[in-house]
Amino acid sequence: MKDEPVDFALIGHQESWRATADVFALLRGPEYPPVPDEEIMSIVPWIPPRAVCHVQTHSRLGRKANGLYIDSFIPPDRLDPAFLQENLKRVRGAAAYAIKAGARIVSLGGFSSILIEGNFDMIPDRGATVFTTGNSLTVAFIVSGIRKMCAQEGRDLRHATVLIVGATGDVGSGCARCLAPLAGRMILCARNMERLRRLQEELEMQGVPVDVAASILELPARADVVVCAASLPSPSLLLGQLAPEAVICDAGYPKNLAPLANRNGWKVFYGGLGQVTSGMTFAPAVGGVLNRHPFRDVVHGCLLEGMTLAWERRFEPFSEGRGFITPQRVEEMEKMADRHGICLAPLYNSDGPIEIRHDCEPEGIGQWV
């Protein structure tokens, strides 16, 4: 696996110090004395971006692709704007590592794509390597999850008020475009009012009533269905604005909404996740600690997009960022992933797996276009 050409690279970072410490401990091995967490927290921020493991994947069609998981080692507690330049440097370093490794396509996971904001020119000397934000597949899994959860809860999206928090971002605007044709009413929430107005106009042209709000404290109505496309600084503020038993998709990274919401009766699930049904192999065997979900081979959609494109031998910047995700592209990507055996991951939240009735399993894909 190590000496084979690198078809794809996945750039990511750990969402918590617990996850970081687990990866560190696994790499260190059981034969060495454990390292206290505070020592790990003092060492990890100094580690330059680099590969953590090789990943070998097999598609349902029998295609093989070799990849690398590259960690930018962004410390989990340094995601706020004060560390923007430092984190950008790390993402660029991770991208340079992928390019040097000869990766043909690179997916930008977690915060990486937000930092680059679709401006791949920030990554110099890309050579033959192409980059995708991976957000088309993330949007596909968020929307599929919403449909599945609404079916489970007996909600009719056509009569629902759907709120998108972080609506002007790449993932948020993609979700808004995919959900608007299905929803009764849309509420878009984001700080940039100019971009919100543009998206509002675009969606209203399709005949959907759309309201906008620059703050979650200014929402014009109570939402029944919510997509949190970004981590929330104050989850409790949002929860106070929602209808009782609202369906909520927590799609931020890191996720910080679910533990609070689960205690209060809302129907929360973690969104944007897919499952590789034909399996993955990691060397060294870090798969068990990188996958922190209660099901095997579950990965964020953004990372799975690069894997899918590698199987398809379509080395192209499928998702370029900057809010250009359309329902057509989302459908195309979801069908492509499905063909190779990547499907919506079983739904779960911080309390564990969510039991879904059989009649609520996906009826097919791409039905929102």
Partner 1 sequence: MEAASRMNDATAVVARTTPLEASIWQDVLAQAITGELIASMNYESLAEICTDAEEKADALEHAASERGHAAAFANEGRGLGVVPQDNVEGQYWKRLRAAFLRCIAERDFVGCLIIQEVMLESFAVASYARIGKVGPGSLGKTFAAIAAEEEEHIDHAMSTLRADRALDAQSFDEKVHRLHLDVMTTLAEMLAREDKNGHCEVCHGNCMKASLPGVGLTTSELRGASLQQYLTTLDMLGLPGEMTLEWVTRLPV
In the complex, the residues that contact partner 1 under the rule CB under 8 A are: 2, 24, 27-29, 32, 35-36, 39, 42-43, 45-48, 50-54, 68, 97, 284
Question: How would you label 52-78 residue by residue, b for 16+ Cβ within 10 Å and e otherwise?
Answer: bbbbbbbbeeebebbbbbbbbbbbbee
How far from each other are the two terminal CA atoms of the chain, in whole angstroms?
A: 39
Q: How far is the CB of 43 from partner 1 (least distance, A)?
A: 6
Closer to partner 1 by CB, 287 or 327: give it.
Answer: 287
Nearest to 227 by CA among 208, 255, 259, 194: 255
> Which CB atom, from 221 or from 285, has the smaller least distance to partner 1?
285
Contacting residues for 32 by C-beta, under 8 A, at least 6 apart = none
Minimum separation from the CB atom of position 253 to partner 1 (A): 22
Report the alpha-carbon distance of residue 288 to residue 328 in Å, rounded.
34
Pick the closer one to partner 1 by CB: 51 or 246: 51
Minimum distance of partner 1 from residue 310's CB (angstroms): 19
Angle, CA of 133, 336 and 59, to the nearest 5°: 100
Which residues make Cβ contacts (< 8 Å) with residue 152, sequence separation at least 6? 354, 356, 357, 360
> In angstroms, what is the minimal distance from the CB of 28 to partner 1?
4
Question: Closest distance between partner 1 and the C-beta of residue 122, in Å?
Answer: 21
Q: Which is nearer to partner 1, 55 or 167 (CB)?
A: 55
To partner 1, the closest distance from the beta carbon of 1 in angstroms equals 11
Q: Which is nearer to partner 1, 50 or 293 (CB)?
A: 50
Closer CB to partner 1, 39 or 77, in the complex = 39
- Cβ at position 144, least distance to partner 1 in Å: 33
Distance CA 216, CA 37 (A): 36
Q: By C-beta, is 78 or 339 nearer to partner 1? A: 78
- Minimum gap (Å) between residue 29 Cβ and partner 1: 7
Residue 232 neighbours by CB under 8 Å, 6+ apart: 165, 216, 238, 252, 256, 257
CB 296 to partner 1: min, Å: 22
Q: Smaller CB distance to partner 1: residue 35 or 221?
A: 35
**Nearer Cβ to partner 1, position 70 or 268?**
70
Contacts of 114 (CB under 8 A, 6+ apart): 169
